[in-house]
Amino acid sequence: MVTVIALKRYINALCRHFSTFDSDKITMIVSFVVAAAENNAIGKDNTLPWRLPEDLKFFKRTTTGKAVVMGRKTYQSLGKPLPGRLNVVLSRTAGLALPEGVLLFADLKAALAALEETGIEEACIIGGGVIFELAMPLAERLYLTRVHAVVDGDTFFPAIDHSHWLLKWEKKHEADEKHLYPFTFQEYERIEL
Ligand SMILES: NC(=O)c1ccc[n+]([C@@H]2O[C@H](COP(=O)([O-])OP(=O)(O)OC[C@H]3O[C@@H](n4cnc5c(N)ncnc54)[C@H](OP(=O)(O)O)[C@@H]3O)[C@@H](O)[C@H]2O)c1
C-alpha cells in the first residue's frame, strides 16, 4: 500500500514537472529584444558597450505593456524595474531582495508558464548572454538592433542560424552626433523547416 502511494506521488510530481511549460501549447509570443554588435558583443563590465538613445527608445516602445524576462545580472545593471512592464528576474538565489511587483523565478520554463497563466500577450526575453543562450530554443520572434561596429565585449549574443529566421522588416539609422555607431533595427520570425 505504501508503495502504491509513493508511486502515485512520484507520478504526480512527474506530471507537474512536465506540465509546467509546453512550448507547443502556449498562446503568448516569446520574443528576444537585443542590441548586438557585428561580433555579437552585447555587454562589457555588466553594462552596455555603447550609448544609443534611439535604440533605448525602440526598446521602450517594443517592450512596454509586455513582460520583460531577464537574468539577475541584467536586472542589477538596470538598477530598477522597467516601468510599464511586468518585470521577471531569473536567479538561483532564493529570496533575492527585489522591489514589490518584480517576480523572481529560479527556472525559465516555470517563469514562462506563470506568464502564460496571466494572459499576457508577449514575454520579451531581454538578456543577458546567459539567458539568451538558455532561451534560444523557445524564442519565435527576434527584435535585433544590429550595431554596425566590432566592439570589445565580455558578453555575447548567441549566433543565430539564418536558415531558421525570416527577416520581416528592417530600418537603418546612421551614426550622428548622438550615436557613435550606425545601426539597423531588424525583426525576425522563426521559421520551421
Ligand atoms: N545589448 C543588449 O541588448 C543587452 C541586453 C541585456 C544585457 N546586456 C548586457 O549583458 C550583460 C549581462 O549578461 P550576463 O550573461 O552576464 O548575465 P545575465 O544573463 O543577465 O544574468 C545571469 C544570471 O542569471 C541567473 N541565471 C542564469 N541561468 C539561470 C537559470 N538557468 N535559472 C535561473 N537563473 C539563472 C543567474 O543569477 P544568480 O547568479 O543570481 O543565480 C546568473 O548569474 C551586461 O553587460 C548587460 O549590460 C546587454
Render pLDDT for 101-131 as a digit per residue (tens, 0 to 9).
999 999 999 999 999 999 999 999 999 999 9
Cβ 136 vs Cβ 34: under 8 Å: no
* The predicted structure's pLDDT at residue 22: 74
Confidence class of residue 11 from pLDDT cuts 50, 70 and 90? very low
- Let me know: does 90 contact 70? Beta carbons within 8 Å: yes
Alpha helices (H) in 20-162, listed in sequence order: 53-63, 72-78, 108-118, 129-135
Scan for cell 494572459, then name that residue: 119
How sure is the predictor about 79, in pLDDT bands with cuts at 50, 70 and 90? very high
Domains of the chain, earliest start first = 23-190 (3.40.430.10)
d(CA 185, CA 177): 19
pLDDT class of 25 with cuts at 50, 70, 90: confident
Confidence of residue 20 (pLDDT cuts 50, 70, 90): low
Reported as a pLDDT band with limits 50, 70 and 90, residue 193 is low
pTM metric for this prediction: 0.91
Start-end of H helices in the chain: 2-19, 53-63, 72-78, 108-118, 129-135
Choice from 21, 42, 156 to test ligand 1 binding pocket (greatest atom count within 8 A of CB): 42
Q: How far is the CA of 131 from the centre of ligand 1 (A)?
A: 6
Q: Give me ligand 1 centre to Cα 79, in Å.
A: 13
